[in-house]
Amino acid sequence: MSWFKRGGNIPKGTRWLGLEVGHSAVKGAILSKKHGKVCLDQFLFEELPGPKDPNRDGQLTSALAALNLSQYGGIRTALVLEGRQVDVHLIRLPRAIPKKEREQAALLESLSRMSLNPEDAIQAALEQGEVGDEVVMLVAAASKTGLERYLEAVRRAGVEPDLITIGPVVLGAVPGRDSKKSTVVFNIGSQSTSMAVFHQDNLQHAREARVGSDPITDELAEMLGDDRSMGESIKRFWRLPKQGETSIPVDMNGEKFSIDPMSLGSLQQLCDELRRSVRFIRERERIPVDEVLLTGGGSLIAGLSEYLNFPKPVECKTANSLDGIEIDETKVHRPLLESIAPRMSQAIGAARLGLESPP
């Protein structure tokens, strides 16, 4: 589903479209700055078939075409590609791609600390060249064919990206992050979770874990006679068991039953992976962790921060992707936007990156 109204002509460089191609949906957010404030002008949210579905590319193209960007003169695009099909990274350098061996070695070392593939990164960086004054490089494409396929679909819809990046870089723009603290941001998607560790504005560590929120829905649906919509609803509205309770009562459309959330293997697996990731950052990487921010569709799991139960003094909270953003309710249907905002966090973050980067 998507909801937006088309606007008039837009002066060059004043608006950015943040576009995320995820496992289960394509998300878009158009941001602008008005009187010094960040404003959301439009958004797009379209469910997609599975990655192996032959109709996926066509549906992606039609979803993007729905934005009808040709009427927006000079709109710039920040594209987020992530997941198992593509693995691209954004590296920014002052003016030019490093040609000298010493400079390349420094970049290699930096990439190694971020757990990326440095050889592929350098090769891709040298091949891509630069875009204008701001150097933007497509780096470490794990699946070049998959990457080219997505870019082709995007371009068929009339979108030519100015900036290409992945989730971990974008997560630095998630609202609610205290730049004075060392923060782990988890973007929990349907099939995978992007993790990024920031200290001040520096990306310290990044990785992707193959755990997501969909398996929880699937497990609940199996218990409910393959009713995925009910499984999704329960996942978002269940409560924590009270002291002495072993399960919680659930009343869905008059149907009553009990459930113990922590008996779900998929929820345990997600929590274990996130706890293990934080422990790895603290103990192996020796990076202090002051706070954990949850975003993405998986952050809608009711009580997730309590289930994770990170040791003190680590504070765990759910990010609000719309924090600090003005919404023109004459153009945007706010209730719908708020209901899907956690799933829009990387699209919004990408647009913010473009909007706030030097011209």
Mean pLDDT of 13-41: 79
- Cα angle 74-77-82, degrees, rounded to a multiple of 5: 170
Mean pLDDT of 152-172: 66
Identity of the highest mean pLDDT range in 6-10, 17-21, 274-278:
274-278
| Digit-coded pLDDT (tens) for 73-112 | 455 666 665 433 333 333 333 333 445 555 545 544 554 4
Exposure string of 104-124, with b = 16+ CB inside 10 Å and e = fewer, is beebbeebeebebbbebbbeb
Q: Which is nearest to 136 in space by CA: 69, 203, 78?
A: 78
CA distance 346 to 348: 5
Q: Which is nearest to 355 in space by CA: 10, 1, 7, 15?
A: 15
Beta strands in 35-189 (DSSP E): 37-47, 76-81, 89-91, 137-139, 163-165, 182-188
Q: Under CATH, what is the fold of the domain 15-88+141-171+320-356?
A: Nucleotidyltransferase; domain 5 (3.30.420)
Give the mean pLDDT of the chain.
Answer: 70
| Digit-coded pLDDT (tens) for 180-236 | 899 999 999 888 888 888 887 777 777 778 888 888 888 888 877 767 877 787 787
- Cα angle 78-293-180, degrees, rounded to a multiple of 5: 90
- Give the CB-side neighbour count of residue 75, counting CA atoms within 13 A: 28
User: What tokens does 167 get?
Assistant: 């989730």
What pLDDT, on a 0 to 100 scale, did the predictor assign at position 182? 92
Are 171 and 349 in contact by the 8 Å Cβ rule? The answer is yes
Are 143 and 85 in contact by the 8 Å Cβ rule? The answer is yes
Helix H or strand E segment including 259: strand 255-259
Q: What share of the chain is helix, strand, coil (3-state, %, to 5)?
A: 35, 25, 40
CB atoms within 10 A of CB 280: 14
What pLDDT, on a 0 to 100 scale, did the predictor assign at position 147? 52
Could you say which architecture CATH assigns to the domain 176-319? 2-Layer Sandwich (3.30)
What pLDDT, on a 0 to 100 scale, did the predictor assign at position 159? 63
Residue 59 Cα to chain centre, angstroms: 20
| Digit-coded pLDDT (tens) for 238-273 | 766 677 777 777 776 677 777 778 788 899 999 999
Q: What's this model's pTM, rounded to 2 decimal places? A: 0.73
What pLDDT, on a 0 to 100 scale, did the predictor assign at position 140? 30
Mean pLDDT of 57-65: 71
For the chain, give every residue range classified as CATH 3.30.420.40. 15-88+141-171+320-356, 176-319
Residue with structure tokens 């779900």?
264
Are 164 and 88 in contact by the 8 Å Cβ rule? The answer is yes
